[in-house]
Amino acid sequence: MIVVEHLAKQFAPPRRWLRPARSPVHAVVDVSFTAPDGHILGLLGPNGAGKTTSLRMLAGLIDPDAGRLSVDGVDVVSRPRDTMARMGVLSDARGLYPRLTARENIVYYGLLQGLPRDRAEARATDLARMLDLTALLDRRTEGFSQGERMKTALARALVHDPAHIVLDEPTNGLDVMATRALREALRHLATPAGGRKCIIFSTHIMQEVERLCDSVTIVSRGRTVATGTVASLLEATHQKDFEEAFVTLAFNETRRA
Amino acid sequence: MKAAWAVYCKEIVDALRDRRTLMVVLVSSVLLGPLVLIVLSGLLAQFETQAEKRVVVVSGIDHAPSLKNYFERQTYTVRTAPKDHEDLLRRSKLSEPVLVVPEGFEDALLHGDRPVLELVSDSGNRQAEVGAGRVRRLVEGFARERGALALALRGVAAEVLEPVEVVGRDLASQQSRAAQLTAMLPFFVLMAVLYGALNAALDTTAGERERGSLEPLVMTPVPRAALVAGKWVAVASVSTLIAVLSCLSFLPAQWLLQSDTLQATFQFGWLEAGLFIVTLVPLAFALSALLMALAIRCRTFKEAQAASSVLLLTVSMLPLVTLFNQEGEAPWHLWVPALAQQTVMSRVLKGEAVPPDMMAIPLAVCVLLSVAGVMSVARSLRGAAVR
């Protein structure tokens, strides 16, 4: 269970010499969302809406200016190590070590998450099977394609079998088949058989949300503008097409503001 | 602790797999030192034989039997100059100056006509120039002898002609000349420490940022101190490895030395190599920490290279203080990293004792620098992860 309430963050602009300081950038103004266990929450928003910043705060990478973040009731700001261990985060930056093999990349993170080596190796093999990565597992990641890198990074984020999975635009660079496979895998992870994981993922692609998410939170200009299932959002906006509903929700709000 | 060990192992594997960089470092800092030493020893050997060579090259010696007689009495071998000696000298093919004796020299000498001897050399030809002084002194000796004999025949004492006598006494022995050459040795090992650390230090900090792998790394529940400690010790280990290889490479190199005096004065055995390594290890750790602290503030590898060039330049220039500063060792030298190690190592090379405080002060300085560097890296790690 991940609960985020009234999150806010502004970034100070770089200081300039002998010139008036620019006003700070309000990356996140008021974002709230809740994702129970066994639930897939989509964080939908246009570019620059504050999705990545919100997820970085959830991952404990930057401290929020205001608001509350908790994972299973544990506060992220005061006990970041505990919450980090409970989450598998695939962040915006997903660099691999080019001179290590895919397996070594994954096992390294397993060790850092505190797994014993044999357990980490076994997890790497399992995840590779799930993500269709087995053939590449013992090759150096140097020459990997975008999608192959993505899968390796995803396996790395999931190596410690976390109860909470946070993915920042995970389908970037994946082809249709890989996207489908990833969707299947996520759906499976949310079921009781897959461990009833709590999954949050951010995206700007409508179809992703329509096909996968149990509920959607729409973020625009740093604010949560709507929350609900796809059906309820369609109903609320009197639209048949989800894209139209999204545009109405995301951009009318900003015009009003 | 376990996490720090995992980081350490990964960084070491990563650094050792970077074969191309490693080869460049090995060639530039491990092989270069011994190579330069061997080449210089060859040069020195050449100068030595030049100085010992008792040969004078003369054109037209048949015109001057008395001069020939004088040369032979001085145990010099007289060689006849080749016909095209001017051209050879100009092209540095002939390494001896040529004394040209004109026709009728002997007659002119007997009649007191001050015959002219030409000493042909080329100031662009260094070896011939060195020999020119020697030949000039030799001929002057001949002239002096003739004059003294002529005066003695007329009953005048030789002292009248030379009321003052100058005797030179050169304090610089050949040993000290050799020591000037071996003084470069600490410089090469210092460079090995630096270049050994450089790539690993930049790769584990700025390189991680550039690749985008630092952000996932700090999102693991590993304490930042453990991350930094693992990285730091790994970088220092690579640097130490290169330094050890560099020190050991001088052991076989000295068998190849051509100059006898250099070989006699260049005492570099296992003991010296060990003392060098003991001196260098703390420096390797301190420099690794400093390089990492510099590089973590840079977004890209390239930026970090530019930033670290300042540190590289400083460390390579510091030992030069001992060259320019003619006062010799000063107490403050021990407080400056790199300069302190240079001081200690040159003492080891000269075979002088190294008192414990000479080891302790640089060690303390290195520990302080390391702590400061590591803490600074740990502090800026999270901020650096978010680009």
Task: Specify the pLDDT at position B8.
Answer: 95
In sequence order, the 6+-apart residues with CB closer than 8 A to the CB of B295 are B201, B202, B205, B206, B304, B307, B308
Task: Specify the pLDDT at position B74.
Answer: 85
Taking an 8 Å cut-off on Cβ atoms, the answer to whether B6 and A93 are in contact is no
CB-based contact B62:B24 (threshold 8 Å) = no
When pLDDT is averaged across residues B348-370 and rounded to a whole number, the result is: 88
Token pair 């414990």 in the structure block, residue: B356
Question: Is the per-residue pLDDT at A98 higher than 90?
Answer: yes
Task: Specify the pLDDT at position A100.
Answer: 94
Task: Specify the pLDDT at position B174.
Answer: 54
**Residue A62 DSSP one-character state:** S
A100 part of contact set with chain B, CB < 8 Å = yes
Residue from the list A89, A92, A97 with its beta carbon closest to the beta carbon of B14: A97
Give the pLDDT band (50/70/90) at residue A256: very low
ipTM: 0.89
CB-based contact B41:B257 (threshold 8 Å) = yes
Nearest CA in chain A to B215: A93
In chain A, the percentage of residues whose pLDDT exceeds 90 is 56
Residue from the list B7, B216, B223 with its beta carbon closest to the beta carbon of A93: B216
Any idea which of A126-130, B110-114, B157-161, B232-236 has the lowest mean pLDDT?
Answer: B157-161
Chain A residues touching residue B219 (CB < 8 angstroms): 59-61, 84, 89, 91
**Secondary structure (3-state) at A215:** strand
Task: Specify the pLDDT at position A257.
Answer: 41
CA–CA distance, B340 with B226 (Å, rounded to integer): 30
CB-based contact A199:A183 (threshold 8 Å) = no
Scanning A184-243 for CB atoms below 8 A from B yields none
Query: Structural domains in chain B?
Result: 2-44+176-385 (no CATH), 53-169 (3.40.1710)
Taking an 8 Å cut-off on Cβ atoms, the answer to whether A93 and B387 are in contact is yes
Taking an 8 Å cut-off on Cβ atoms, the answer to whether B386 and A97 are in contact is no
A82 part of contact set with chain B, CB < 8 Å = yes
Give the pLDDT band (50/70/90) at residue A55: very high
Question: Is the per-residue pLDDT at A207 higher than 90?
Answer: no
Pick the residue with more confidence: A70 or B351?
A: A70
Nearest CA in chain A to B213: A95
Tens-place pLDDT, residues A35-46:
999 999 999 988
For residue B272, CA distances in Å to A247, B179, B248, B251, B345 come to: 76, 15, 10, 10, 9
Tens-place pLDDT, residues B202-239:
999 999 999 999 999 999 999 999 999 999 999 999 99
Taking an 8 Å cut-off on Cβ atoms, the answer to whether A98 and B211 are in contact is yes
Task: Specify the pLDDT at position B240.
Answer: 94
- CA angle, B257 then B263 then B265, to 5°: 145
Nearest CA in chain A to B4: A112
CA–CA distance, A183 with A169 (Å, rounded to integer): 13
In sequence order, the 6+-apart residues with CB closer than 8 A to the CB of A114 are A85, A160, B2, B3, B221
Scanning A37-66 for CB atoms below 8 A from B yields 56, 59-62
Taking an 8 Å cut-off on Cβ atoms, the answer to whether A62 and B14 are in contact is no
Residue from the list A85, A100, A108 with its beta carbon closest to the beta carbon of B221: A85
**pTM, rounded to two decimals:** 0.82
CA–CA distance, B386 with B147 (Å, rounded to integer): 90
Task: Specify the pLDDT at position B292.
Answer: 95
Task: Specify the pLDDT at position B172.
Answer: 54
Chain A residues touching residue B218 (CB < 8 angstroms): 61
Task: Specify the pLDDT at position B327.
Answer: 67
Residues of B with CB under 8 A from a CB of A: 2-3, 6-7, 10, 13-14, 17-18, 208, 211-223, 382, 385-387
Question: Containing H/E element for A3?
Answer: strand A2-11
Chain A residues touching residue B211 (CB < 8 angstroms): 95-98
Nearest CA in chain B to A116: B2
When pLDDT is averaged across residues B154-170 and rounded to a whole number, the result is: 75
CA dihedral B94, B97, B103, B107 (to 10 degrees): -150
Taking an 8 Å cut-off on Cβ atoms, the answer to whether B215 and A91 are in contact is yes
Chain A residues touching residue B10 (CB < 8 angstroms): 97, 100, 104, 108
Task: Specify the pLDDT at position B176.
Answer: 58
Top mean-pLDDT range of A74-78, A238-242, A245-249: A74-78
CB-based contact A49:A219 (threshold 8 Å) = yes
Q: What is the mean pLDDT of chain B?
A: 85
When pLDDT is averaged across residues B345-372 and rounded to a whole number, the result is: 88
Closest residue by Cα to residue B235 from B65, B10, B79, B26: B10
Question: Is the per-residue pLDDT at B13 higher than 50?
Answer: yes
Question: Is the per-residue pLDDT at A160 higher than 60?
Answer: yes
A111 part of contact set with chain B, CB < 8 Å = yes
Q: Which of B217, B220, B222, B382 to mutate to test the interface with A (most CBs of A within 10 A)?
A: B220
Closest residue by Cα to residue A71 from A36, A44, A102, A97: A36
Chain B residues touching residue A114 (CB < 8 angstroms): 2-3, 221
Question: Containing H/E element for A166?
Answer: strand A164-168
Residue from the list B3, B385, B386 with its beta carbon closest to the beta carbon of A112: B3
Taking an 8 Å cut-off on Cβ atoms, the answer to whether A91 and B220 are in contact is no
Taking an 8 Å cut-off on Cβ atoms, the answer to whether B6 and A111 are in contact is yes
Pick the residue with more confidence: A221 or B178?
A: A221
Give the pLDDT band (50/70/90) at residue B181: low
Taking an 8 Å cut-off on Cβ atoms, the answer to whether B216 and A85 are in contact is no
Residue from the list B6, B208, B386 with its beta carbon closest to the beta carbon of A62: B386
Give the pLDDT band (50/70/90) at residue A126: very high
Pick the residue with more confidence: B126 or B116?
A: B116
CA–CA distance, A213 with A195 (Å, rounded to integer): 17
Residues facing A4 on adjacent strands: A33, A69
Tens-place pLDDT, residues B242-281:
999 988 888 887 777 777 766 766 777 888 889 999 999 9
Burial of B174 (0-12, 13-18, 19+ CB in 10 A): middle
Residue A126's φ and ψ, nearest 5 degrees, are -60, -50
Taking an 8 Å cut-off on Cβ atoms, the answer to whether B214 and A93 are in contact is yes
Chain B residues touching residue A157 (CB < 8 angstroms): 216
Pick the residue with more confidence: A5 or B327?
A: A5
CA dihedral B205, B208, B212, B214 (to 10 degrees): -70
Give the pLDDT band (50/70/90) at residue A97: very high
Question: Is the per-residue pLDDT at B158 higher than 90?
Answer: no
Q: What is the mean pLDDT of chain A?
A: 89
Scanning A123-162 for CB atoms below 8 A from B yields 153, 156-157
CB-based contact A39:A199 (threshold 8 Å) = yes
Question: Is the per-residue pLDDT at A216 higher than 90?
Answer: yes
User: SS3 letters for chain B?
Assistant: CHHHHHHHHHHHHHHHHCHHHHHHHHHHHHHHHHHHHHHHHHHHHHHHHHHHCCEEEEECHHHCHHHHHHHHHCCCEEEECCCCHHHHHHCCCCCCCEEECCCCHHHHHHCCCCCCCEEECCCCCHHHHHHHHHHHHHHHHHHHHHHHHHHHHCCCCHHHHCCCCCCCCCCCCHHHHHHHHHCHHHHHHHHHHHHHHHHHHHHHHHHHHHHCCHHHHHCCCCCHHHHHHHHHHHHHHHHHHHHHHHHHHHHHHHHHCCCHHHHHHCCCCHHHHHHHHHHHHHHHHHHHHHHHHHHCCCCCHHHHHHHHHHHHHHHHHHHHHHHHCCCCCCHHHHHCCCHHHHHHHHHHHHCCCCCHHHHHHHHHHHHHHHHHHHHHHHHHHHHHHCC
CATH of domain A2-94+165-256: 3.40.50.300
Nearest CA in chain A to B384: A61
What are the extents of the domains in chain A? 2-94+165-256
Task: Specify the pLDDT at position A88.
Answer: 93
CB-based contact B308:B194 (threshold 8 Å) = no
CA–CA distance, A107 with B12 (Å, rounded to integer): 15
Number of cross-chain residue pairs from A and B with Cβ atoms under 8 Å apart: 78
Taking an 8 Å cut-off on Cβ atoms, the answer to whether A59 and B219 are in contact is yes
Tens-place pLDDT, residues B84-109:
888 888 888 888 888 898 888 888 88
Tens-place pLDDT, residues B293-339:
999 999 899 999 999 999 999 888 887 777 676 667 778 888 888 88
Pick the residue with more confidence: A77 or B160?
A: A77
Centroid of chain to Cα A104:
23
Give the pLDDT band (50/70/90) at residue A54: very high
CB-based contact A198:A35 (threshold 8 Å) = yes
Taking an 8 Å cut-off on Cβ atoms, the answer to whether B10 and A114 are in contact is no
Taking an 8 Å cut-off on Cβ atoms, the answer to whether B219 and A60 are in contact is yes
Residue from the list A96, A108, A153 with its beta carbon closest to the beta carbon of B6: A108
Any idea which of A113-117, A124-128, A147-151, B294-298 has the lowest mean pLDDT?
Answer: A147-151
Any idea which of A187-201, B32-46, B54-68, B335-349 has the lowest mean pLDDT?
Answer: B32-46
Scanning A161-190 for CB atoms below 8 A from B yields none
